[in-house]
Chains A and B, each alone.
Chain A
Amino acid sequence: GESVGLHLPTLSVQEGDNSIINCAYSNSASDYFIWYKQESGKGPQFIIDIRSNMDKRQGQRVTVLLNKTVKHLSLQIAATQPGDSAVYFCAENWQLIFGTGTRLQVFP
C-alpha cells in the first residue's frame, strides 16, 4: 500500500543550529500533510501542517516545505533548543499514514 517514510532515523544537532528533518511520501494524490512531535512518554503532538496547494508554510521557529514533484516533505526548525529533542513523524491526509519517525537529539 501507500506509505510514508523518513530518510534519517536519528539527527544530532548543536543547540542554536537549524535542524532539517526529511520525509518522502509515495501517494501522489495526498493533499494534506502533517508533522508531529513525540516526546518521551507522551503522545504525538501536532506541530504544523500544509495543504498540497502550498509549497511552504511557516510557524513559530518551524517551517514545512513541500515538493510535490519529488514527493518530498521537510520540517525545518530554526535555532534548535534542548526542548526540541523528540521523535518527529510526518503523515499524509487527515486519516494519517505514519513514517517510523526521526529522533532529533540536541546537544549543548
Chain B
Amino acid sequence: EAQVTQNPRYLITVTGKKLTVTCSQNMNHEYMSWYRQDPGLGLRQIYYSMNVEVTDKGDVPEGYKVSRKEKRNFPLILESPSPNQTSLYFCASSFIDSIDQPQHFGDGTRLSIL
C-alpha cells in the first residue's frame, strides 16, 4: 500500500531533550516536506526536500533540522525542543515531474513539549 509513515504518532517530552520524528514513503517520490499545524494558523511548511541531499527552508524553519540521506526517508530533528514547538506535525511527499502532483500526507505526529 502506498503510504507516508510517521513515527512516533504521539510524544510527550521535556524542554531541551533532543528528539527525532521519522518519515518514510514507499512511492519513490522525489519531493518530501514537513508541516506543522496549529489552531487558527493552518498548515505551515517547516522544511522541504526536492531530492536526496537537497533540503530547503520553508516558512517556519527555526528550531528544526532535517536530512535527506535516502530518497524514502526525511527525518525531522528538534535539537533542543521548546514549548512553542508543541504542535501537530505532518510529513508529505510527491513526485515533481509536473506541476499537477498532489502531495500525500502521513497521519501526523502530535508533539507536546513540557
Interfacial residues, chain A to chain B (CB-CB below 8 A): 31-32, 34, 36, 41-46, 49, 51, 89, 93-96, 98-101
Q: Contacting B101 at CB < 8 Å: which of A36, A45, A94? A: A94
Check B48–A44 contact: CB distance below 8 A. Answer: no
B7 vs chain A, min Cβ distance (A): 14
Interfacial residues, chain B to chain A (CB-CB below 8 A): 4, 31, 33, 40-45, 48, 90, 92, 94, 96, 98-108
Q: Contacting B100 at CB < 8 Å: which of A32, A89, A100? A: A32
Q: A94-B99, A95-B33, A98-B42 are in contact. List 11 more A-B contacts (CB 8 A).
A: A34-B102, A42-B107, A43-B106, A46-B102, A51-B99, A94-B98, A94-B101, A96-B33, A96-B43, A96-B103, A100-B40
Report the nearest B residue to A1, measured CB to CB. B59
Check B42–A101 contact: CB distance below 8 A. Answer: yes
Roughly how many angstroms separate A46 CA and B61 CA in the complex, as a whole number?
25
Check A41–B107 contact: CB distance below 8 A. Answer: yes
Contacts of A94 in B (CB 8 A): 31, 94, 96, 98-103
Roughly how many angstroms separate A76 CA and B42 CA in the complex, as a whole number?
21
Contacts of B31 in A (CB 8 A): 94-95
